[in-house]
Amino acid sequence: MLGSGDKHLEWRLEQTRNFAPNGLALYIGYNETLAHQLYAAADFLLMPSRVEPCGLNQMYALRYGTIPIVRITGGLADTVTDFGDKGGFGIRFVHAAIWDACAAVRRAIGLFENRTTFNRIRKQILKIDHSWNKSAQEYIDLYTSLKS
**Helices (H) and strands (E) in the chain — how many of each?**
7, 5
At how many degrees (to 10) do helices 98-113 and 115-125 cross? Answer: 100
Domain holding 24, by residue range, is 1-30
DSSP 44-88: EEEE--S--SS--HHHHHHHTTPEEEEES-HHHHHH--BTTSTT-
Q: Is-contact 52 73, C-beta < 8 A? A: yes
Task: Classify residue 36: in a domain, yes or no.
Answer: no
Give residue-wise pLDDT tens across range 38-69: 999 999 999 999 888 888 999 999 999 999 99
- Are 16 and 50 part of one and the same domain? no
User: What DSSP element (H or E) covers 33?
Assistant: helix 32-41
Task: Classify residue 37: in a domain, yes or no.
Answer: no
Mean pLDDT of the 92-112 span: 97
Would you state the pLDDT for residue 111? 98
What's the pTM?
A: 0.85
Q: For residue 116, which amino acid is it? A: T
